[in-house]
Amino acid sequence: EAVEAVEAVEAVEAVEAVEAVEAAEDGATRRAETRTAGAALDDEAMVLRLDDEDEDTPAAASGPTLADARAALAAGDAARGAQLFGTLAERGDADAQAYFGYLLYQGEGIARDRAAAVTWYRRAAEQGHRDAQYNLAVAYAFGEGVAKDDAEAVQWYRRAAEQGSAVAQYSLGVSYALGEGVARDPAAAATWYQRAAEQGYPAAQYNLGHMLHAGKGVERDEAAALRWFDEAARNGHAAAQYILGAMYRAGTNVARDLDEARRWFRLAAAQGHEQARAALAALSAGG
């Protein structure tokens, strides 16, 4: 019983230790995650749209098409792909402008030039291109290719978020949670986290779980918090996996189940989560 009591205390402390969305270190970690995820999601989204382009448009007969540019990249000819995207971008095609900006940012097939990337993101963003709006926001948030400006970042996050971009919705939630570029507003943060969470964005699911657990910006609801932690964990979010493991170890809002605790700790530990590794080692030592 004494061991169980200690484990229960440890689990509660583990939850409380990571629940503060406003903590500076936690916020910095989440911002970095946003940038990494954004690049990957943006690339995928653009490629998917290019797959759907109608190649029988009038423009297709007079020069290169988006499909031609995509095919060059797929064939491994990044330089040719960048050239074609650049040509199409100059003609005013928003998809091409957004993707050309991405290639300039990455230095893929063309010399890296983040200031030029911002120029092309802006051209596409002003035409309403959702992914370009998100990438332009990221540029302002991190001061990459343009002077850092959190307020300007929020404006572009919002435009992309209102068009349904999950990563932009999540990023706007972070802005409200941390008070970056906008007045701190936990309720607004929770609203945007929920929109992203409902689209399956793991970091938003995790943050929403914390807000429901702590009653920040929303009414406290442990059952709903557990559901979102579970969703985030099943979507591969290491910190959520650790939280679930801690809950199962202590029987916090779930039936105590050490096998389930070990399963979630292992998953988190496999992603390099140090607290999960320590918790797993402690469970193993205790049998």
**pLDDT at 209 (0 to 100):** 95
**Chain centroid to CA 145:** 21
At residue 28 the predicted structure's pLDDT band, cuts being 50, 70 and 90, is very low
On the question of pLDDT at 25 being above 90, the answer is no
Query: 156, 162 in Cβ contact below 8 A?
Result: no
Q: List C-alpha distances in Å: 22 to 29, 127, 157, 173, 175.
A: 11, 34, 19, 11, 10
| CB-CB contact of 87 with 64 (8 Å) | yes
Give the pLDDT confidence score for residue 70 in this predicted structure: 95
Note the pLDDT tens digit of each residue in 66-89: 999 999 999 999 999 999 999 999
pTM equals 0.81
Residue range 119-139: average pLDDT? Answer: 97
Q: What is the pLDDT of residues 144-191, one digit of tens each?
A: 999 999 999 999 999 999 999 999 999 999 999 999 999 999 999 999
- For the cut 90, the answer to whether the pLDDT of residue 93 exceeds it is yes
Burial profile 42-51: b = 16 or more Cβ within 10 angstroms, e = fewer: bbebbeebbe
**Close Cβ partners of 196 (under 8 Å, ≥ 6 residues apart):** 166, 167, 169, 170, 173, 203, 204
Q: How confident is the model at residue 262 (pLDDT cuts 50, 70, 90)?
A: very high
Q: What are the contacts of 123-129 at 24+ separation with CB within 8 A?
A: 123/89, 123/94, 123/97, 124/94, 124/95, 124/97, 124/98, 125/98, 125/156, 125/159, 127/94, 127/97, 128/94, 128/163, 129/94, 129/95, 129/97, 129/98
What is residue 63's predicted lDDT score, i.e. its pLDDT? 87
